[in-house]
Amino acid sequence: MALLDDAARTSPIPDGESVKTLDGVHVLIVDDEEEITELYSMSLSAAGATVHSTFDGASALDALRAGTFDVVISDLDMPLLDGIAMIRAVRQSESFGPVPAMAVTGSTRLDAREHALSAGFDAFAVKPLSAPRLVEAVRQLLRKSERT
């Protein structure tokens, strides 16, 4: 899944609808923008997910070593260890397992999508993501990982 599927753009969960579609799902959010982390945490928690957040790739690797996550959502441009280096470390180590991961960035670089996907992300989206699109993106990542 390179981008959010058309279904995510055309038939998202309606705004304001409280659907617990992510019960039991553990999500790691990695972003150095506190507002984005809070927004995504609230959106995913409202859908039933358990959310943990970190502010850089190094802390994300520590969190992945310490716990089990069903999905990782990561910014690309962060201090200490960026999202590209973080996902490469995850993909190169068997200890992390095949956790599905989505890059979410506000970058205007034309090659950001290609760069993220070639580094090992399973999906790519541009910030900001609305709550319904974020929840649907996580659902798609989970469905895709169940098929592989």
d(CA 44, CA 53): 12
What's the whole-model pTM score?
0.85
Assigned domain for 3 exists: no
Say how many domains are in the chain.
1
Look at residue 110 in the predicted model and tell me its pLDDT.
Answer: 84
Judge whether 28 and 54 are in contact, CB under 8 Å. yes
Q: What is the CATH number of the domain that holds 56?
A: 3.40.50.2300
Phi, psi torsion values for 4, nearest 5 degrees: -60, 130
Separation between Cα atoms, residue 90 and residue 111, nearest integer Å = 22
Domain range for 104: 23-147
Q: pLDDT, tens digit, for every residue of 51-107? A: 999 999 999 999 999 999 999 999 999 988 999 999 999 999 988 989 999 999 988
User: Is residue 17 included in any domain, yes or no?
Assistant: no
Confidence of residue 145 (pLDDT cuts 50, 70, 90): confident
